[in-house]
Amino acid sequence: MNFVKTNKEFLKLGLLSLGAFLLSTYSVKVLASTSEVEIEQNSMLLAESSRNSMRVCSQKGANWSEINYFESKNYFANICRQPSGNLMLIAGKKSNPNEVLELPVEFNEGYFAVDGNRTFIVDDGSFSMAINGLVVKKEQIIYQGQSN
């Protein structure tokens, strides 16, 4: 009899522990999902704010206009039209957006800019740099926006 009573107590304790575990697991999931939504919204706002600071065509002058804007994981690239009508590439690292490269650019199924032995190519799919014709960096475009 004592054995049966002890087993019932262990069963009650086990069910109580299982209930507490399930309740805490559900609570953690609810908190985690709420936090992810808030973090995602805040991240999107931060990315948009950061992106706007890197879209610099209009900052170059009153008659400059944005033709296209690209971002890869580590780089950004603006394609701007100068008052003369010529296109200009203004690009740099996201980690240091104040240090940019400004080069005349041509369009032929993508944007091409040449700086000595370096060639920069930006198209709908990727941002790449070649040195002496050999691609040394290539990143997938993760964001593209036309005319701010």
Please tell me whether residues 134 and 62 are part of one structural domain: yes
Please tell me whether residues 35 and 66 are part of one structural domain: no
Q: What is the CA radius of gyration of the chain?
A: 28
Please tell me whether residues 37 and 75 are part of one structural domain: no
Please tell me whether residues 137 and 69 are part of one structural domain: yes
pLDDT at 92 over 60: yes
Q: Decide which of 54, 79, 94 is a domain's last residue.
A: 54
Number of separate domains in the chain: 2
Please tell me whether residues 3 and 18 are part of one structural domain: yes
Please tell me whether residues 61 and 50 are part of one structural domain: no
pLDDT at 133 over 80: yes
Look at residue 7 in the predicted model and tell me its pLDDT.
55
Give the percent of the chain with pLDDT over 90: 51
Q: Minimum mean pLDDT among 1-10, 33-42, 52-61, 88-97: which range?
A: 33-42
Please tell me whether residues 138 and 104 are part of one structural domain: yes
Look at residue 50 in the predicted model and tell me its pLDDT.
67
- For residue 54, name the pLDDT band (cuts at 50, 70, 90): confident
Could you tell me the residue range of the domain that residue 38 belongs to? 1-54
Q: Decide which of 11, 29, 54 is a domain's last residue.
A: 54
Please tell me whether residues 81 and 11 are part of one structural domain: no
**46-49 LR contacts (CB < 8 Å, sep 24+):** none
Position 28: which residue type?
V
Please tell me whether residues 101 and 126 are part of one structural domain: yes
pLDDT at 31 over 50: no
Please tell me whether residues 21 and 92 are part of one structural domain: no
pLDDT at 47 over 60: no
Please tell me whether residues 108 and 68 are part of one structural domain: yes
- For residue 25, name the pLDDT band (cuts at 50, 70, 90): very low
Query: 134 versus 145: which is more confidently predicted?
Result: 134
Please tell me whether residues 40 and 76 are part of one structural domain: no
Rounded to the nearest integer, the mean pLDDT of the chain is 78
Q: Decide which of 54, 76, 93 is a domain's last residue.
A: 54
**53-57 LR contacts (CB < 8 Å, sep 24+):** 53/97, 54/78, 54/92, 54/94, 54/97, 55/145, 55/148, 56/80, 56/90, 56/100, 57/81, 57/90, 57/148
Q: Closest Cα partner for 145 from 91, 76, 73? A: 76
